[in-house]
A and B are shown apart, each in its own frame.
Chain A
């Protein structure tokens, strides 16, 4: 991060000192306890942690679905922690794609209509948006599902539709919450492969939340989170390329805090 300041590469996502505190009765629960990191354009980032580590909370806040208690989230040049709900909706519509664990396709719509849905929210006319949606269906290899309803599709097919839907608005960032959580291992590999392809060929930034280390291995950069704190940031080969000379090592100084417990 020290080098990046002068670098022409500006982070797409910049998070500084992010806290999320829930009150449970008289106790304060730190879902996120001072998190800071950067994500650059074209990166495939995995946020890895166990259940209850705060990884989903982090993703929700990056996507503007949940306001932080304290701290700063910038996406591009915009401070999304300062936006109200209406602005966030517009922001998401224009900049963010979403892939869900349970696919969340609308049962009343067929494959094509599901993919075209975010464009419908933008007010794009039906013929234009369906043409565009068909293109992404083809890219995901599920053109044959265009006229099928979600309940006629397998999980893998549904998730491919889901990915196509996330990409149809041509977002800067795609968020994926346990995208393979409901899939078998073979389909998982396929879907992850597709996601990698999206990042590499379409130049998207993808932030994925997972609890599974093998899945996280597909990412260029892995942010490990335990009890609301980042314990290490690891880079794959491509990740090092993107972030530049700074990172030969796989772990950051923050990770030193791991063995000592609560410092950092």
Chain B
């Protein structure tokens, strides 16, 4: 028997009892819709969380710290992070770039305002990750320029009154972009040279020789990190510059003297290379972060990434998704029982007809297939309509969720950071459809076998 004929027979049979078919399909619709909506909520929630993590930190960055720190003076060699080490990181598959982080504390001055800044010398790869609000990135390795975090301005204090944002809650009158900023790199010399003047306040002894005040440098401002001082982000509180430019600057300031913060050899002489406190390693995709991280850890460094946290999070979310899907699956199970019941009814009703077909030479397998197709069709129809309804329900849920978020002030109207709580990816649609058809056919399996085994004699028997 041709498949097209089987299909036509099955569909005709479904049409014959329209109301019953509809009611059975309705069960599948509700079952499918509840699974899809439940799972879409789980997915939405997990993705929202990942997105919110992504919005303030990068998920493809691994932070590396020097290893061997805890080896308490044992024979284990100190695992410094140097340019050489970074080059070896770059050779790890999936690594797209690295950046050292050379940390220096400097003092910035503008007018009466003064601030202690944490200056980070980083590579262009690191800088590229930062969203610039104003100006540009300090990418030029030959020229020292600063990129200020959007909240750095609040670090400036009035040097005369000692008041700043954290006492007055007013943003200081500092214009990082417009007016020149003076930078003092040799902070210890600065404090020492200031010590006599502030001796009354600090109550310090002033027996030391007077230190010449260190040189002030005007460092041009390349730009500001995007955001207002109120916005909190990964890059809000530090000041960034090109690491090569910073190294050149430090060398020219300290010459043969050891640079503060850098290790020295056994004789107390500075090393001829820079050692970084930590470094960032960039990976091409979230999927590969874990393996790269493991490789770096195996090389003897401490490696951390936000993926550790995200993965933990995802595991929790998966459990939640499974529970939600399970709740939906219960209603599909009920629908499956409905299908089985409908098919059984249909077989009782059509006993004679099945018998006639068998007498007239219809293969037993064809009869089974006919019923399987019928129940599969119920699954397909229910699945399709169920998915359509899920889209509607999902839309409504998202609208309500958004309104709720807006009312509680999490999301500004028209903000691009608003997310949907219910998300239906394509794979969910396909899976749901396959699942609905499979459930239908499974429910029709035993009834169809029963139909296949019916005696053809029932057709001959005269009532």
Contact = CB atoms under 8 A, between A and B. Distances in A.
A102 interface: yes
B360 A118 contact: yes
A101 B353 CA distance: 14
Secondary structure type dominating chain B contacts: helix
Interface stretch (A35-43, A85-93, A256-264): A85-93
B352 interface: yes
Interface stretch (B110-118, B167-175, B314-322, B454-462): B454-462
Interface string A71-96: 00000000000000110011011101
A121 B352 contact: no
Nearest to B365: A86
Contacts of A56: 460
Contacts of A96: 361
A216 interface: no
A128 to B, nearest CB: 11
Contact of B364 (A86, A104, A178): A86
Contact of A169 (B4, B13, B361, B366): B361
Interface in A102-118: 102, 104, 106-109, 117-118
12 contacts: A65-B359, A86-B363, A86-B364, A96-B361, A98-B359, A100-B356, A104-B353, A104-B459, A106-B357, A118-B360, A120-B1, A122-B361
Given A106-B356, A108-B16, A120-B5, A90 B361 contact: yes
Given A102-B463, A104-B352, A104-B356, A120 B13 contact: no
B2 interface: yes
Nearest to A93: B361
Given A60-B460, A102-B463, A89 B16 contact: no
B351 to A, nearest CB: 12
Interface string B438-463: 00000000000000000111011011
Interface of A: 56, 59-60, 63, 65-66, 85-86, 89-90, 92-94, 96, 98, 100-102, 104, 106-109, 117-118, 120-123, 125-126, 165, 169, 177-178, 181
Interface string B119-144: 00000000000000000000000000
Nearest to A91: B361
Contacts of B359: 63, 65, 92, 98
B362 A109 contact: no
Contacts of B4: 126
Given A65-B457, A108-B12, A126-B5, A92 B361 contact: yes
| Contact count band on B | 20 to 34
B358 interface: yes
B291 to A, nearest CB: 55
Given A65-B359, A104-B459, A120-B5, A89 B364 contact: yes
B460 A121 contact: no
A44 to B, nearest CB: 20
Contacts of A125: 2
A232 B13 CA distance: 47
Nearest to A129: B5
Between B1, B356, B357, B359, the greatest number of chain A beta carbons within 10 A of the residue's beta carbon is seen for: B359
A75 to B, nearest CB: 14
A127 B4 CA distance: 13
A65 B457 CA distance: 6
A121 B366 contact: yes
A120 B357 CA distance: 11
Contacts of B353: 104, 106
Nearest to B9: A108
Contacts of B456: 65
Nearest to A98: B359
A125 B2 CA distance: 8
Given A89-B363, A117-B357, 15 more contacts: A65-B455, A65-B456, A65-B460, A66-B457, A90-B361, A92-B360, A100-B356, A104-B353, A106-B356, A108-B16, A118-B361, A121-B361, A121-B366, A169-B361, A177-B460
